[in-house]
Chain A
Amino acid sequence: MTDETTAPGIPEPEGASAIIDTEYNIGQDNVEGQVGPFGFDIHNPVFMISSLSIAFFVFYALVFRDQASDFFTGVDAAAVAGCEAGAFCDLGLRSFLTSNFDWFFLSAANVFVLFCLLLIVTPLGAVRLGGTDATPDYTYIGWFAMLFAAGMGIGLMFFGVLEPVYYFGTPWGDQPLGAVRPFAEDGTLIEANIEEARRMALAATIFHWGLHPWAIYAVVALSLALFSYNKGLPLTIRSAFYPIFGERVWGWTGHIIDTLAVFATLFGLATSLGFGAQQANAGLEYVYGIPNNTTVQVLLITAITAIALVSVVRGLDGGVKVLSEINMVIAALLLLFVLFAAGALGILSGFFGGLLAYAQEIVPLSNPVGREDTGYVQGWTAFYWAWWISWSPFVGMFIARVSRGRTVREFVICVLLIPSLVCILWMATFGGAAIEQVINDPAGSAVKAQVIDSYNPPISLFAMLEGLPWSAITSTIGIVLVIVFFVTSSDSGSLVIDTITAGGKVDAPLPQRVFWCTFEGAVAIVLLLGGGLGALQAMVISTGLPFTIILLLMCWAIFKGLQDERRKI
């Protein structure tokens, strides 16, 4: 590097912003070198610690498979001496956290939503990411497609039918807010209960896909974008903690935060890749009769990783952005098809009904204390909140990467309100169509058979499509969409992990991204073959608790950071 860096202070980016002047130079802890013909540029402790500990945990999950599974997902208390029902050994770490800290997850998520809504209405919302004169890097369409595909695409495919139908007809007693069941003990419909059950099912589903998850993502994304574009700190999770820990974020405090983020991202991706392959395989079996076994799943993971590699090599604009736009178009077509095939009028009234029900029930549903519907709160809501939170470093960092040039108000509205509305439309359409099938023909409905009579989550979407015309075509589109969403996640995940392990450098050599993308696929395959996917996913979700605290601190950091920005404008 040249010496003229000693120019007085750091210039502002585009227009006024409150730069943080730190002694830290981005890349000062990095190691550059060659492995064979390929160059690398990695952050010294973070890269090594995260890749070695990932290798270690994969080893642990394989060699001590039963022990790991018992620890994270619990044992059957009745069969094990000395283990009482409801104790830690029975629940496992994951359920222990979601059942004992449900009040904490729910309260924290409420804080995030209120915080984001406040940002929209207060003057702090006028701050622009990247300085007062910055212009957006992406058009609304491209930006929106990317944040949506990274944020929840795959979940919509998996839960769009499953969740509303589950709440509508669950015989397991975890109806949201103790709502009525539309089925009598002998399985016949109770006409009087149908409307109320449908209303609650939609409201409870939308609750998990609406404002709360997007507020979680918005908090992380906003803090990263603010501290890197406006304050000049590296684009990595630790930078958001500068107002709290000061210069210590460049030391071990920061190493631990970044390593945790890499950890949650890679395992989150690898386990989802494993489960995604199982879902795609279940779909292929259901529609085409292709055998459902690990060989097919390993082939699917290999194919998904191979396509992701092509996209990785094509970069952000040529890869992820293009894929996200393809996703959005296919998803919109599928949505329109279901909308019209299942009766647009009924579904649109379901959409507004769902919106109204959500508005009416959001307060009781988000109430963290004194709830009696523990099956719903602990089994679903707390689980979802922990899940969104453990994914937030990945999604948040990706959203931050593409959001320069937006004002905070614009950012929060677009990350919070618009995706929530799309999710509501999606859930109202897929869930509404599926519930309609269940009501019209309880005995013959494939959805009821796969969700309520026997619990078979990966099939639910295809079972609903079966009840509509052209199901062979639409199911194939569904499978393609599942796969493309996974490719997008795998690709953007590699981008994020590479940036964190390169100390916030976005221009580290490309082979590093190829390494992470391949590593993800390899971890998924190893876990799929050796077992342990479930235990690891439980572990990822368990990281939700420490991250919730981290996110609460982030809100404070954002508030401080934005106040400084306001003073400069």
Chain B
Amino acid sequence: MYTNIMIPVDLAHVADLGKALDTGADLARHYGARICYVGVTAATPSAVAHNPAEFQQKLESFATEQGVKHGITTMAKAAISHDPAVDLDSTLLKTADEIGADLIVVASHIPGLKEYIWPSNGGALAGHATASVFVVRL
């Protein structure tokens, strides 16, 4: 049913993603799908990487590691955004179309008061993506 699963990852907070990563991997095994891990970064140095090339490199080794751990086919895609604090959702949506994802598995915290002002990333993806979206609560 699904061939191309996208999982947005924040390399600075990988520890929080365990459940979503496992869910995605289980689905990938079940459907024989490939997972593409997508990370969004600015061109300026960040906590994760000194430049976009290093970011891509780290994302790739993360994807390889996940592939070995779960026995699935994986790839990595780094998306560059001018202002990730604001453009994260739109960058993820654009990337989902670019890589032709048919399912997005995204981790999302339990919504609270803040979501009345700013929707969560998971919520925004579910609201606008053309692909199916599986929102995994942390």
Q: Is B47 interfacial (CB-CB < 8 Å)?
A: yes
Chain B residues, CB < 8 A from A191: none
B106-131 contacts to A, CB under 8 A, are 112-114, 118
Please pick, from A14, A228, A318, A513, the residue contacting B44 in the complex, using a CB distance under 8 A: A228
Please pick, from B11, B47, B52, B82, the residue contacting A27 in the complex, using a CB distance under 8 A: B47
Chain B residues, CB < 8 A from A229: 43-44, 51
What distance in Å separates the Cβ of B55 from its nearest Cβ neighbour in chain A? 9
Using CB atoms, name the residue of chain A closest to B87.
A315
Chain B residues, CB < 8 A from A36: 113
What distance in Å separates the Cβ of B16 from its nearest Cβ neighbour in chain A? 12
Distance between Cα atoms of A90 and B134 in the complex (Å):
70
- A-B pair number, CB within 8 angstroms: 107
What distance in Å separates the Cβ of A531 from its nearest Cβ neighbour in chain B? 35
Q: Assess A404 versus B43: contact at CB under 8 Å? Given A1-B48, A19-B50.
A: yes
Chain A residues, CB < 8 A from B82: 137, 315-317
Please pick, from A11, A26, A37, the residue contacting B57 in the complex, using a CB distance under 8 A: A11
A30-60 vs B, Cβ < 8 Å mask (1 yes, 0 no)? 1000001110000000000000000000000
Binds B, one of A77-85, A91-99, A475-483, A501-509: A501-509
What distance in Å separates the Cβ of B90 from its nearest Cβ neighbour in chain A? 9
Complex contact A315–B51 (CB within 8 A): no
What distance in Å separates the Cβ of A565 from its nearest Cβ neighbour in chain B? 14
Given contacts A13-B53, A316-B87, 13 further A-B contacts (CB under 8 A): A4-B62, A7-B57, A10-B50, A11-B51, A12-B51, A14-B51, A26-B45, A37-B113, A229-B51, A317-B83, A318-B87, A404-B43, A507-B41
Q: Is A401 interfacial (CB-CB < 8 Å)?
A: yes
* Centre residue among A130, A315, A507, A513 by max chain B CB count within 10 A: A507
Q: Assess A232 versus B62: contact at CB under 8 Å? Given A315-B87, A317-B82.
A: no
Distance between Cα atoms of A23 and B83 in the complex (Å):
26
Residues of B within 8 A of A (CB): 11-12, 14, 41-48, 50-54, 57-58, 61-62, 65, 82-87, 112-114, 118
Please pick, from A27, A37, A318, A513, the residue contacting B112 in the complex, using a CB distance under 8 A: A37
Residues of A within 8 A of B (CB): 1-2, 4-5, 7, 10-14, 19, 25-27, 30, 36-38, 130-131, 137, 228-229, 232-235, 313-318, 401, 404, 504-510, 513
Distance between Cα atoms of A507 and B57 in the complex (Å):
20
Complex contact A506–B58 (CB within 8 A): no
Complex contact A14–B14 (CB within 8 A): no
What distance in Å separates the Cβ of B3 from its nearest Cβ neighbour in chain A? 27
| Majority SS at the chain A contact face | loop
Ordered by A's residue number, 30 sampled pairs between the chains whose C-beta atoms are within 8 Å are: A1-B11, A2-B62, A4-B62, A4-B65, A5-B58, A7-B57, A11-B54, A13-B52, A14-B53, A25-B47, A26-B45, A137-B43, A229-B44, A232-B51, A233-B45, A313-B86, A315-B83, A315-B85, A315-B86, A315-B87, A316-B83, A317-B82, A504-B45, A505-B46, A505-B47, A506-B46, A506-B83, A507-B41, A507-B84, A507-B85
What distance in Å separates the Cβ of B120 from its nearest Cβ neighbour in chain A? 11
Chain A residues, CB < 8 A from B52: 13-14
- 4 closest pairs, A vs B, by CB? A315-B86, A232-B50, A37-B114, A27-B47
Distance between Cα atoms of A513 and B118 in the complex (Å):
14
Chain B residues, CB < 8 A from A30: 47
Distance between Cα atoms of A508 and B12 in the complex (Å):
12
Complex contact A1–B114 (CB within 8 A): no
Complex contact B58–A232 (CB within 8 A): no
Distance between Cα atoms of A233 and B83 in the complex (Å):
18
What distance in Å separates the Cβ of A26 from its nearest Cβ neighbour in chain B? 5
Please pick, from B65, B86, B112, the residue contacting A314 in the complex, using a CB distance under 8 A: B86
Distance between Cα atoms of A506 and B84 in the complex (Å):
8
Complex contact B85–A12 (CB within 8 A): no
What distance in Å separates the Cβ of A234 from its nearest Cβ neighbour in chain B? 6
Chain A residues, CB < 8 A from B45: 26, 228, 232-235, 504
Distance between Cα atoms of A401 and B43 in the complex (Å):
9
Complex contact A510–B86 (CB within 8 A): yes
* Centre residue among B51, B53, B65, B82 by max chain A CB count within 10 A: B51
Q: Assess A317 versus B87: contact at CB under 8 Å? Given A7-B61, A13-B53.
A: yes
Distance between Cα atoms of A291 and B87 in the complex (Å):
42
Chain A residues, CB < 8 A from B87: 315-318
Chain A residues, CB < 8 A from B51: 10-14, 130-131, 229, 232
Complex contact B62–A507 (CB within 8 A): no
Chain B residues, CB < 8 A from A37: 112-114
Using CB atoms, name the residue of chain A closest to B12.
A1
Complex contact B118–A1 (CB within 8 A): no
Using CB atoms, name the residue of chain B closest to A2.
B14
Distance between Cα atoms of A19 and B54 in the complex (Å):
12
Please pick, from B46, B50, B54, the residue contacting A507 in the complex, using a CB distance under 8 A: B46
Complex contact A10–B54 (CB within 8 A): yes
Distance between Cα atoms of A510 and B50 in the complex (Å):
22
Distance between Cα atoms of A131 and B83 in the complex (Å):
20
* Centre residue among B11, B41, B47 by max chain A CB count within 10 A: B47
Chain A residues, CB < 8 A from B48: 1
Chain B residues, CB < 8 A from A318: 86-87
Complex contact A508–B85 (CB within 8 A): yes
Chain B residues, CB < 8 A from A507: 41-42, 46, 84-85
Using CB atoms, name the residue of chain B closest to A36.
B113
Complex contact B47–A506 (CB within 8 A): no
Distance between Cα atoms of A11 and B53 in the complex (Å):
6
What distance in Å separates the Cβ of A367 from its nearest Cβ neighbour in chain B? 40
Chain B residues, CB < 8 A from A513: 85
Using CB atoms, name the residue of chain A closest to B47.
A27
Distance between Cα atoms of A11 and B54 in the complex (Å):
6
Chain B residues, CB < 8 A from A504: 44-45
Chain A residues, CB < 8 A from B83: 315-317, 506
Chain B residues, CB < 8 A from A13: 50-53
